[in-house]
Amino acid sequence: MPPSLSPRTAFAAPKSSDFASEFRPAAALLLGLVFAAACAMNARAQVRLPPSETTQQQQQQQQQARTPPPPIESDESESEDERAESVRPRVTDPAASMRAARVILVRSNTAFVNEREVEDSLRKRKEFRAWGLALTRSDADADLVIEIERKPFSRRFAFSVLDPRTMLVVTSGKTRSVLFGKKIPNKIAEKFMNRLKTVRPLPGS
């Protein structure tokens, strides 16, 4: 028959070593949770701006939204030139264009008249040299443009003198080719010079 246990032996308290071994994992888990929560709060505190800095940034953004954008700067000299160009009166006086002309361009629109032959005829004229005129083949440099046309199925030729800046026809003329007589380039050069003489006297005359 087994020995009977006394009340002290049956209800003896657990040993301290057993209690510590059971409590240690729970304590470690609790400490880990507390540490993780502390780290999360610290990270939020670092990311979050102080109230003063947040208010200052909001005020700057509001001020930028209220401030109108600066006006676009334009070139003053350019604008002045454009205003002067718009105010400047256009020369519409044919005589004034003919008197002020210095550079001539010859443009032939027919295969029956060679532009270079007209240029050579102009250079040979004493009026051309006396007025100090010059010939060009650039539209941008020309003061006057002599345009030559031929009437279809005929021996008649016409020329028009244009101011390229205003496209104003300042003078014009006609001539006709004959079997025995001056060539068309010579006739056109002579008639053009005679038109200039009416509004542009020769130097010293």
Cβ contact 117:187 at 8 Å: no
pLDDT at residue 58, rounded to an integer: 72
Is 141 domain-assigned?
yes
Is 31 domain-assigned?
yes
Is 145 domain-assigned?
yes
Q: Which domain covers residue 103, as residue numbers?
A: 94-199
pLDDT at residue 84, rounded to an integer: 47
* Domain shared by 189 and 102, yes or no: yes
Collapsing DSSP to helix, strand or coil, 43 comes out as helix
R_g of the chain, CA atoms, integer Å: 52
Give the separation between CA 145 and CA 177, rounded to whole angstroms.
22
Bridge-based pairing of strands 168-176 and 156-163 is antiparallel
* Domain shared by 47 and 98, yes or no: no
Helical pair 184-199 and 115-123, crossing angle rounded to 10 deg: 50
* Domain shared by 155 and 98, yes or no: yes
Q: How far is CA 198 from CA 30, 52, 125, 203, in A?
A: 117, 88, 16, 13
DSSP-derived letter for residue 181 is S
- Kindly report, residue by residue over 121-165, the tens digit of the pLDDT: 999 999 999 999 999 999 999 999 999 999 999 999 999 999 999
The total number of structural domains in the chain stands at 2
pLDDT at residue 5, rounded to an integer: 47
pLDDT at 92 over 70: yes
Domain end (from 33, 59, 85): 59
* Domain shared by 183 and 98, yes or no: yes
Is 159 domain-assigned?
yes
Give the CATH number of the domain where residue 195 resides: 3.30.160
DSSP-derived letter for residue 127 is H
* Domain shared by 53 and 113, yes or no: no
* Domain shared by 98 and 188, yes or no: yes
Q: How many alpha carbons fall within 13 Å on the CB side of residue 187?
A: 17
pLDDT at 176 over 60: yes
* Domain shared by 44 and 101, yes or no: no
- pTM greater than the 0.75 cutoff: no
* Domain shared by 100 and 33, yes or no: no
Domain end (from 7, 35, 59): 59
Nearest 5°: CA angle at 40, between 36 and 43? 140
pLDDT at residue 72, rounded to an integer: 55
1-10, 36-45, 56-65, 176-185: which range is least confident on average?
A: 1-10
Structure tokens belonging to residue 178: 């004959």
Is 83 domain-assigned?
no
pLDDT at 97 over 80: yes
